[in-house]
């Protein structure tokens, strides 16, 4: 099923079409005179501008913080649209910067995008992705600018925006403006996001179930303080940078041994572990001096440090983190956790206690203990843990949610998503068949954090990755629309791996990803590249 968002042909061919563009442009520019939205006093308009397809925004002119532009590209504007930038106060001492992109050729749908990490950054590629399908699209800066948690220091309202309110306010104001601008309300409202954005999607499903009719939530940062504690423990145990206690050479041996024991379990020896739940390698084979140990081997102490990170971390009977998944992608995982490429995890591990838990800028990781981890988790400001298991309000109003997570995620392990699904199942006393009516979860083999990785990693999940096509079969944004509006729920999600993750360079493989709790098994010929050889199996 395809979703047309084109203007009826009669309009395109009509002589008044040119006049309509002028009218649209004029209505857009008139918004600069100001906007009022009930419940939000003091909204100010920064910019109201008609922008034509293919324009590229200039971040230096737009005043976008450089810590954002370092990781967020500015894509060309996909369709003619009205771009509106606003300041929306969310309390006496907080505000969001909101962008609203209103396509000239509107599909009648509304969508909100989310954020990543501790940001602070409007995700322009996601706005462009959604606007290309004619959604009235919003994105905001999550209540602060840049990627640092320093904005939270002694600013509880800014922290509350980050925990839930920025997304809420952006959606409420965005919907109201959409209605004012087009003269009628949206038909259905949607959300998609990954990482922190995945958590934001779940936050809405749990606490503001009225906000969206359909949600796509990827690699959610559930129990965020516990995740940061996991990063802190990893830094303390293994060190940071390139000078780490278990060398990358030794982690390479761990990865090779993992693939040796697990890669074939799914029926295809292709470097992709299709079900990390079934991969339980015996790493004692790497112990120096043991029978058949490789030249690069682990000492007993190294082995015990390494084995520990794959197990759930429990303090005083409480799970702080579910443990790293055995993905066969251990080297990248470790390089990211120790901050060899980007500072993310090591920075967040100290920023959270500094600016939120202790409000002490001198706090550092040498003060970290298991009791600290427990404190972070229990403090749970504004319920940022996002761990409610009862979704009955969301279900009962007919809303739908697609949850997805990469099995090779190097920042947030899929074990957290598995545990959350089971938590919902227990809380609602619902079997997977029961949950299927509104909540479906897909585990994606060989997908890293949100995008990337050796697996079939592109499926219309984000503006940061290539989109294989518009068919709901292989496009999650179109899928959630098909489910909400046409009852076409996803049985599988078809992913594509492009050469160098670039669509222009061609396709490496396509593969359908299975709905939890099924596992992907290959019964075809060769190394797993035959899509039809894969089957979702209940074990
Ligand atoms: C937009 O840019 C692309 C690539 O540069 C070009 O092929 C296309 O014709 C342009 N479209 C418009 C409407 O200018
Ligand atoms: C964020 O940056 C925008 C654009 O430069 C600015 O208008 C806004 O006041 C900033 N917000 C905060 C909370 O500093
Ligand atoms: C702060 O906000 C409250 C409502 O949340 C309001 O009653 C109060 O007057 C505000 N204070 C200032 C100084 O604006
Ligand atoms: C970007 O944001 C960070 C964090 O708020 C801030 O320290 C920095 O000054 C900002 N840079 C610019 C150019 O506004
Ligand atoms: C799988 O086998 C095909 C055909 O032999 C080959 O072209 C392809 O490179 C192989 N792919 C991988 C990932 O090994």
What confidence tens digit (pLDDT) does each residue in 306-345 have? 999 999 999 999 999 999 999 999 999 999 999 887 778 9
* pLDDT for 167: 98
Ligand 5 site, residue 526, Cβ cutoff 6 A: yes
The DSSP call for residue 1 is -
Ligand 4 neighbours, Cβ below 6 Å, are 65-67, 145-146, 148, 151
What torsion, rounded to 10 degrees, do the Cα atoms 141, 145, 146, 149 define?
A: -100
Query: Hey, which of 90, 122, 141, 169 would you mutate to test ligand 2's pocket, going by the most ligand atoms within 8 Å of its Cβ?
Result: 141
pLDDT at 58: 86
Residue with tokens 């003269």: 183
Ligand 1 nearest-atom number relative to CA 52: 13
The residue ranges of every structural domain in the chain are 1-184, 238-383
Residues 326, 279: contact at Cβ < 8 Å? yes
Whole-angstrom CA distances from 258 to 358, 454, 532 are 39, 16, 26
Task: Return the SS3 of 431.
Answer: coil
User: Is ligand 5 within 6 A of the CB of residue 180?
Assistant: no
SS3 assignment, position 433: helix
Check: pTM over 0.85? Answer yes or no.
yes
Specify the pLDDT at position 12: 44
Report pLDDT for 66. 82
d(CA 495, CA 3): 20
CB of residue 300 inside a 6 A radius of ligand 5:
no
**Where does ligand 1 bind, in terms of residues with CB under 6 Å?**
53-54
Q: How many angstroms separate the CA atoms of 190 and 381, rounded?
A: 26
Q: How far apart are CA 465 and CA 30, in angstroms?
A: 35
The answer to whether 443 and 481 have CB atoms below 8 angstroms apart is no
Residue tagged 């300041």 (tokens): 87
Ligand with smallest separation from the Cα of 55: 1
Crossing angle for the helix pair 300-309 and 224-238, to the nearest 10 degrees: 170
**What pLDDT does residue 17 have?**
56
Protein residue closest via CA to atom 10 of ligand 1: 54
> Is 403 one of the annotated active-site residues of the chain?
no
Out of 126, 275, 329, 409, the active site residue is 409
Ligand 2 atom closest to Cα of 94?
Answer: 13
Ligand 2 atom at minimal distance to the Cα of residue 46: 7
CA of 535 to the centre of ligand 5 (A): 19
DSSP letters for 294-335: -SS-B-HHHHHHHHHHTSPEEETTEEEE------S-HHHHHH
For residue 492, what are the CA distances in angstroms to 256, 402, 421? 30, 11, 17
What does each of the 539 residues of the chain score in pLDDT, given as a tens digit? 344 444 444 444 444 556 777 899 999 999 999 999 999 999 999 999 999 999 999 887 777 888 898 889 999 999 999 999 999 999 999 999 999 999 999 999 999 999 999 989 999 999 999 999 999 999 999 999 998 999 999 999 999 999 999 999 999 999 999 999 999 999 999 999 999 999 999 999 999 999 999 999 999 999 999 999 999 999 999 998 888 999 999 999 999 999 999 999 999 999 999 999 999 999 999 999 999 899 999 999 999 999 999 999 999 999 999 999 999 999 999 999 998 877 789 999 999 999 999 999 999 999 999 999 999 999 999 999 999 999 999 999 999 999 999 999 999 999 999 999 999 999 999 999 999 999 999 999 999 999 999 999 999 999 999 999 999 999 999 999 999 999 999 999 999 999 999 999 999 999 999 999 999 999 999 889 999 999 999 98
Collapsed DSSP state (helix, strand, coil) of residue 20? helix
Q: How far is the CA of 206 from the centre of ligand 5 (A)?
A: 44
For residue 269, which ligand has an atom nearest its CA? 5
pLDDT of residue 14: 46
> Which of the listed residues 143, 145, 162 should we mutate to test ligand 4's pocket, taking the one with most ligand atoms within 8 A of CB?
145
Known active-site residue 195? yes
- Please tell me the residue having the least CA distance from ligand 4 atom 4: 146
- Return the residue whose CA atom lies nearest to atom 14 of ligand 5: 270
Closest approach atom of ligand 1 to CA 54? 1
The helix/strand/coil state of 395 is helix
Q: Which residues pair with 511 in a beta bridge?
A: 495
**What letter would DSSP give residue 76?**
B
Closest CA to 263 of 533, 539, 527, 537: 527
Q: What length is written for the chain?
A: 539
Catalytic residue among 112, 148, 189, 195: 195
pLDDT for 18 equals: 64
Buried b (16+ CB within 10 A) or exposed e, 291-329: eeeeeebbeeebbeebeebbeebebeeeebbbbbbbbbb
């Amino acid at each position: 099923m395809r979703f047309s968002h084109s203007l009826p042909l009669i309009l395109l061919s009509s002589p008044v079409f040119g006049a309509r563009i002028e009218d649209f442009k004029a209505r857009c520019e008139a918004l600069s005179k100001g906007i009022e939205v009930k419940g939000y006093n003091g909204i100010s308009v920064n910019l109201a501008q008609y922008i034509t397809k293919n324009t590229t925004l200039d971040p230096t002119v737009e005043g976008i913080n450089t810590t954002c532009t370092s990781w967020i590209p500015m894509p060309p504007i996909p369709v003619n649209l009205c771009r509106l930038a606003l300041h929306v106060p969310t309390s006496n001492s907080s505000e969001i910067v909101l962008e609203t992109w209103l396509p000239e050729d509107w599909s009648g749908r509304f969508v909100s995008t989310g954020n990543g990490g501790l940001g602070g950054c409007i995700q322009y590629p996601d706005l462009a992705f959604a606007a290309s399908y004619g959604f009235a699209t919003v994105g905001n800066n999550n209540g602060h600018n840049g990627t640092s948690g320093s904005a939270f220091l002694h600013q509880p309202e800014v922290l509350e925006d980050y925990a839930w309110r920025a997304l809420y306010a952006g959606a409420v104001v965005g919907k109201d403006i959409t209605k004012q601008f087009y003269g009628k309300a949206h038909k259905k409202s949607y959300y998609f996001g990954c990482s922190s954005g995945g958590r934001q999607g779940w936050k809405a499903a749990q606490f503001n179930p009225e906000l969206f009719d359909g949600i796509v939530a990827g690699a959610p940062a559930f129990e965020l303080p516990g995740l940061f504690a996991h990063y802190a423990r990893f830094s303390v145990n293994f060190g940071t940078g390139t000078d780490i206690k278990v060398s990358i050479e030794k982690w390479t041996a761990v990865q090779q041994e993992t693939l040796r024991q697990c890669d074939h379990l799914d029926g295809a020896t292709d470097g992709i572990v299709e079900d990390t739940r079934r991969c339980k390698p015996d790493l004692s084979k790497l112990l120096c001096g043991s029978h058949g140990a490789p030249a690069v081997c682990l000492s007993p102490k190294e082995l015990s440090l390494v084995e520990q990170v794959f197990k759930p971390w429990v303090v005083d009977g409480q799970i702080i983190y579910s443990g790293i998944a055995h993905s066969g992608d251990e080297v990248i995982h470790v390089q990211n956790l120790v901050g060899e490429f980007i500072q993310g995890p090591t920075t967040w591990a100290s920023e959270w206690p500094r600016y939120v838990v202790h409000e002490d800028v001198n706090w550092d990781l040498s003060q970290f203990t298991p009791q600290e981890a427990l404190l972070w988790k229990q403090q749970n400001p504004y319920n940022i843990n996002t761990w409610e298991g009862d979704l009955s309000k969301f279900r009962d109003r007919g809303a739908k949610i697609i949850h997805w997570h990469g099995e090779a995620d190097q920042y947030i392990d899929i074990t957290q998503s598995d545990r959350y699904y089971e938590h919902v199942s227990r809380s609602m006393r619902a079997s997977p068949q029961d949950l299927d009516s509104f909540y479906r979860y897909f585990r994606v083999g060989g997908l890293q954090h949100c995008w990337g990785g050796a697996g079939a990693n592109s499926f219309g999940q984000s503006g940061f990755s290539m989109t294989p096509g518009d068919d709901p079969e292989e496009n999650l944004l179109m899928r959630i629309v098909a489910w909400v509006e046409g009852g076409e729920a996803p049985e599988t999600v078809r992913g594509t791996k492009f050469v160098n993750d670039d669509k222009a360079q061609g396709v490496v493989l396509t593969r359908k990803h299975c709905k939890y709790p099924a596992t992907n098994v290959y019964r075809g010929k060769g190394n797993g590249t035959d899509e039809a050889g894969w089957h979702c199996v209940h074990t």
